[in-house]
Amino acid sequence: MSVAEAPRSDASGRGAAFSGAEGGEQLTIVEPLIFDASRPERRAVRFPEASDAARTAASGQPELPASVRRDRAPRLPEVSELDLLRHFNRLAHLNHAIDLGFYPLGSCTMKYNPKVNEWAARLPALADSHPLDPEALSQGSLELMWLLAELLKEISGFPAVSLQPAAGAHGELTGMLMTRAYHRDRGEGEQRTKVLVPDSAHGTNPATATMVGYEAVTIRSNPRGGIDLEALRGALGPDVAALMITNPSTLGIFEDQIDQVLAAVHEAGAIAYMDGANLNAILGRFRPGAAGFDVMHFNLHKTFSTPHGGGGPGAGPVGVSERLEPYLPRPMVVLADGDPDAVRRNAWVGRSTPEARFALDDDRSKSIGKVRSCYGNFGMFVRAYTYIRSNGGDGLRTISDDAVLAANYLRVRLADAYDLPYDRVCKHEVVFSGKRQKREHGISTLDMAKAILDHGIHPPTIYFPLIVEEALMIEPTETESLETLDRFVDVMHGIAETAATDPEAIRRAPVTTPVGRLDEAAAARRPDLRHAFPADPGDAPGAPTAAPTPEAPTA
C-alpha cells in the first residue's frame, strides 16, 4: 500500500474498527495491518536467557555452521502486548459470528457452541498431553477417544469408527481410499473406476473421487429432488466403485427411496458412501450404518457443535461397515485389557474402570495407512464428547427434531415471498430460489444476501446446490429461538418487498458493514496475497521505498 493510504496505527485506537466506514475519504482503511504498528524494540513476550552452565556445556557441541544461518531476521511485527490485543480485538469486531447473531448458512450447521466444551478442551491434562507420550501416561486421552468412538458407533449404527480424519473432506478421502482397497482386495480394483455422485452433491465429493484416481460420474436428480432411481440403475455396473450420497441431500430432502438406492448399489457390488454433513437432521431417526451404508463421515464441527473457527479446525471421523473395517486408518484406539461393557457402563455414570487399559493398535495389515499425523484433531474430540454427554440420547433426538421443525417453519413462512422449487417437507435446511426476484426485478440472490447483511444476520448459503437457480439455502439449526426465526422471516419479507419497490436500494447493499461489496474480480486478476514490506535500504540500490502499485502483482 502507498504511504497515502496507510495511516499509521499508534495503538491508541485510531484507525479502529468501523472508524473508516463513514469517513467518506477516497482511501480509507478499517484496521491497519499489524505490520504498520511495528516499531523496533517493542515486544510482548520475553524469554529467559540461557545460563552460563548451559552455554558452557553447549559449547562442546557442534555449532550451527554459518552456511545454514540466515543473514536477516524475519520481519515479524514488533508490538507491545496491548498493541497486539487491540489489533486482534478490533479485527474481531469486523466479524459476524454465531455468538453475535443469526447465522443460517446452509450446509454448515451454524448452531450454538456451548462454552463448557471449551472449558473441557482447555483442561491442562488434556491440552498438554503429548501424542507420543507413553500410553501409560495418556490413558485419559485414549479413553476419551475410545468412548467417543463408541458413542459415534451407537449414534450412526456403524460397527467401527476411526477418529483420524481432520475434516469432512478428509473423511471422504479416507472413505474412498478404503473403498478402493476393498475392491482391490477382491480383485476388482482395475475394473471399478467410477464413482457416482448426484448433481446436488457438495463439491468435495467429486473432488475426492478425483484425488483417489476415480472418475466422478454425475447422476441427475428427479423432479422431487431425490436421486433419480432409473438414472442410478442405468449408471450402476461392474465398473462402479461407489455411490457418494448426501442424505438428507443438499436440498434438505431426505432420500425417501434410500432403501431402494442402497439395494441397487449393493446389488452392483459397489460401496454406499454417505456424506454425513447433514446428520444434524436425523439423530435418533435414521442410523446410516444400520440402514445399510458402508461408510460415512461425521462432521464433528457441524452436528456435534465444535466451533467452526473461521474455517476450521473441524474433525471428520468415519464410520464403516464390517466389510470395510479392516481398511480403517491406523492406529486405532483399542481397549487392550478390560470388558468393554463394564467400561462403558462405568463411564456413563462417571466412573473409571480400574482394570481397563487403552492402547493404540498399529498392527493392521489391510489398513489404508495414515491420513494425518498422530490420531486426529483431539481437541475437537474433547468438545464433541462433552457435547454428546451433555445432551444425552434424548437431547440428541431433540436436536434433530427442533432443527427440522425450525427449517420447516421457515419453509412455510417464506413460501409466499420466494420460489420453493421442491415444495415438500424438508429436514434441517430449506432451499429457496431467488429467480422470481431476478426475473421480475433484476435482483439477484447475491444482492439479497448483501441486503440481509444490513440486518445483522449472516446470509444463507447462496448459489448452492447448483441445480437450483439463484439458490438460497437456509439452515436455521435448533438453537435459534422462535423470535429470531420470526425476525428473519420479517427481514426476508422486507427484502422481497424492497426488491419490488426499490430495487436500487438492494443493489446498494450492504451499507452498514465495515466495507461495502469488494471487487473480487480485481483480487483474482491482480493477486495481492501478502504484505509488501518497504524495501530495505541495504537491498537493491534505487529500489522504491513503497510497495508496488496495485496494478503490479505483489510477488
* Contact set for other proteins, span 391-450 (CB under 8 A): 391-396, 398-399, 401-402, 404-406, 408-409, 411-413, 424-425, 427, 449-450
Cβ(474)–Cβ(404) under 8 Å? no
Spell out, one character per residue from 9 to 28, where the chain touches other proteins: x when CB under 8 A holds, - when not: -----------xx--xxxxx
346-376 burial code (b ≥16 CB/10 A, e <16): bbeeeeebeebbbbbeeebeebbeebeeebb
User: Cell digits for 293?
Assistant: 451404508
Interacting positions 447-476 with other proteins (CB under 8 A): 449-450, 453, 458-459, 461, 464
Cβ(261)–Cβ(245) under 8 Å? yes
Cβ(378)–Cβ(142) under 8 Å? no
Q: Which stretch binds other proteins (CB under 8 A): 101-109, 229-237, 491-499, 538-546?
A: 101-109
What residues have CB less than 8 Å from 122, skipping those under 6 apart? none
Asked if 535 is part of the footprint of other proteins (rule: CB under 8 A), the reply reads no
Choose between 212 and 359: whose C-beta lies nearer to other proteins.
212
Cβ atoms within 10 A of the Cβ of 329, count? 22
Least distance in Å: CB of 543 to other proteins?
17
Sign of the four-CA dihedral 329, 333, 334, 336? positive
Asked if 354 is part of the footprint of other proteins (rule: CB under 8 A), the reply reads no
Residue choice 244, 270, 368, 443 for contact with other proteins (CB under 8 A): 368
User: Cell digits for 167?
Assistant: 475434516
Please report which residue ranges of 363-481 form alpha helices under DSSP H. 378-414, 435-441, 445-453
| The residue to which cell 473406476 is assigned | 193
Q: Which stretch binds other proteins (CB under 8 A): 132-140, 235-243, 437-445, 495-503?
A: 132-140
Residue choice 258, 279, 473, 499 for contact with other proteins (CB under 8 A): 258
Interacting positions 182-201 with other proteins (CB under 8 A): none
Quote the CA–CA distance of 184 and 189 in Å, as a whole number. Answer: 4
Asked if 35 is part of the footprint of other proteins (rule: CB under 8 A), the reply reads yes
Residue choice 88, 355, 549, 552 for contact with other proteins (CB under 8 A): 88
Asked if 515 is part of the footprint of other proteins (rule: CB under 8 A), the reply reads yes
Asked if 269 is part of the footprint of other proteins (rule: CB under 8 A), the reply reads no
Asked if 370 is part of the footprint of other proteins (rule: CB under 8 A), the reply reads yes
Selection from 207, 277, 275, 217 nearest residue 241 by Cα:
217
Choose between 29 and 499: whose C-beta lies nearer to other proteins.
29
Interacting positions 209-238 with other proteins (CB under 8 A): 209-213, 215-216
Taking CA atoms, 293 is separated from 134, 247, 261, in Å, by: 36, 11, 10
Asked if 207 is part of the footprint of other proteins (rule: CB under 8 A), the reply reads yes
Asked if 151 is part of the footprint of other proteins (rule: CB under 8 A), the reply reads yes
Asked if 365 is part of the footprint of other proteins (rule: CB under 8 A), the reply reads no
Cβ atoms within 10 A of the Cβ of 54, count? 10
Least distance in Å: CB of 418 to other proteins?
16
Least distance in Å: CB of 90 to other proteins?
8
Choose between 55 and 439: whose C-beta lies nearer to other proteins.
55
Least distance in Å: CB of 433 to other proteins?
19
Asked if 85 is part of the footprint of other proteins (rule: CB under 8 A), the reply reads yes
Residue choice 13, 234, 312, 340 for contact with other proteins (CB under 8 A): 312
Selection from 279, 252, 304 nearest residue 112 by Cα:
304
Amino acid at residue number 217: V
> Where on the phi/psi map is residue 153: left (φ > 0), alpha (ψ -120 to 50), or beta?
alpha
Quote the CA–CA distance of 481 and 485 in Å, as a whole number. Answer: 6
Query: Could you give phi then psi for residue 435, rounded to 5 degrees?
Result: -70, -30
Element (H, E) at 471: strand 471-474
Asked if 103 is part of the footprint of other proteins (rule: CB under 8 A), the reply reads yes
- Give the 3-state secondary structure of residue 141: helix
- Give the 3-state secondary structure of residue 319: strand
Residue choice 43, 266, 441, 493 for contact with other proteins (CB under 8 A): 43
Choose between 401 and 500: whose C-beta lies nearer to other proteins.
401
Asked if 323 is part of the footprint of other proteins (rule: CB under 8 A), the reply reads no
Least distance in Å: CB of 419 to other proteins?
19
Cβ(191)–Cβ(239) under 8 Å? yes
Least distance in Å: CB of 370 to other proteins?
4
Interacting positions 105-124 with other proteins (CB under 8 A): 105, 108, 110-114, 116, 118-124
Interacting positions 271-310 with other proteins (CB under 8 A): 282, 284-287, 290-292, 299, 301, 305, 307-310
User: Cell digits for 56?
Assistant: 558452557
- Longest CA–CA span in the chain (Å) reads 82
User: Cell digits for 159?
Assistant: 460397527
Least distance in Å: CB of 366 to other proteins?
13
Residue choice 3, 50, 543, 552 for contact with other proteins (CB under 8 A): 50
Least distance in Å: CB of 8 to other proteins?
15
Asked if 324 is part of the footprint of other proteins (rule: CB under 8 A), the reply reads no
Interacting positions 62-81 with other proteins (CB under 8 A): 62-65, 67-71, 73-79, 81
Q: Which stretch binds other proteins (CB under 8 A): 102-110, 228-236, 264-272, 432-440?
A: 102-110
| The residue to which cell 524495501 is assigned | 535
Residue choice 340, 533, 539, 544 for contact with other proteins (CB under 8 A): 533
Full DSSP string of 17-60 = TTTTTT---SS--SS--GGGG--TT--S---PPPPHHHHHHHHT
Residue choice 10, 185, 230, 256 for contact with other proteins (CB under 8 A): 256
